[in-house]
Amino acid sequence: MWIADNWKDYEIIDCSCGEKLERWGDYILLRPDPQVLWDTPKNNTAWKKLNAHYHRSKSGGGEWEFMKLPEQWTINYKELTFNLKPFTFKHTGLFPEQAVNWDWFSELIKQAGRPIKVLNLFAYTGGATLAAAKAGASVTHVDASKGMVTWAKENAVSSGLGDAPIRWLVDDCVKFVEREIRRGNKYDGIIMDPPSYGRGPKGEIWKLEEKIHPFIKLCSNIISDDPLFFLVNSYTTGLAPSVLTYMISTEVSGKYGGKVESQEIGLPVTESGLVLPCGSSGRWSK
């Protein structure tokens, strides 16, 4: 497993009964997590010092209960700053486990010794975009949600990257890649973090199990002649890391050589010393 264990402003304090107890900077949040299938004693005092608790509904969805939490606050990861706020379906605007991938491709970019163009698809609030830009890459950030792109821009300004070479685009990722193929544009690094399920601007249905392989194949057409990396993230429980390896090997390493590795990614749990799995990632590099 690849573990995001370099955080100082974030930690999973404990997990029990389908929930994870987290510290986001100065604030304690309790949120549901489908991987937490065990029931262990809640001995840590932080269980009784919550700033917010997201309650799942048996009929789907849920709602926040706020004790004492600001509308927005920030946390840092190394030299990056992220603006956080609680919003729909338990999210805060950041997936801390992805830091293990940020570190991986940032090192590749720094060591490349040449200009690197990165494409970040389904780019959300820009964690990967900012990490790549901070490492020295020029980045194209694409997400279908205008609100998420605006949030990502705010994170860039907070991180001192307001003037970095980042192209911000509100667009459907599949249609954008199809246009890039027609335009002949190429990228040295591609990052994709597709949802398990979603709808496009015109109601197009995205179901990961059906769409991910054709999309990886499509993206292989915009890889540069001297590519650096290709990263696919998945939060779909039934998609094993070995499946990511097979798809990336078929469409990327078959053309460019290099190596493919796929693993679960996870976050350490302070109280138990164990690691909570948080999805999977597939990585290709030369």
Span 117-161, pLDDT tens digits: 999 999 999 999 999 999 999 999 999 999 999 999 999 999 999
Q: What is the mean pLDDT of the chain?
A: 94
38 and 150 together in one domain: no
Span 84-106, pLDDT tens digits: 999 878 999 999 999 999 999 99
Q: What's the pLDDT band for 80 if we cut at 50, 70, 90?
A: very high
CATH of the domain at 24: 2.60.40.1180
29 and 114 together in one domain: no
148 and 53 together in one domain: no
Residue 90 in contact with residue 54, Cβ under 8 Å? yes
CATH of the domain at 253: 3.40.50.150
Residue-number span of the structural domain to which 278 is assigned: 96-285
In a domain, 205, yes or no: yes
- Domain count of the fold of the chain: 2
DSSP 65-133: EESS--S-EEEEETTEEEEE---STT--S--GGGHHHHHHHHHHHHHH-S--EEEEES-TT-HHHHHHH
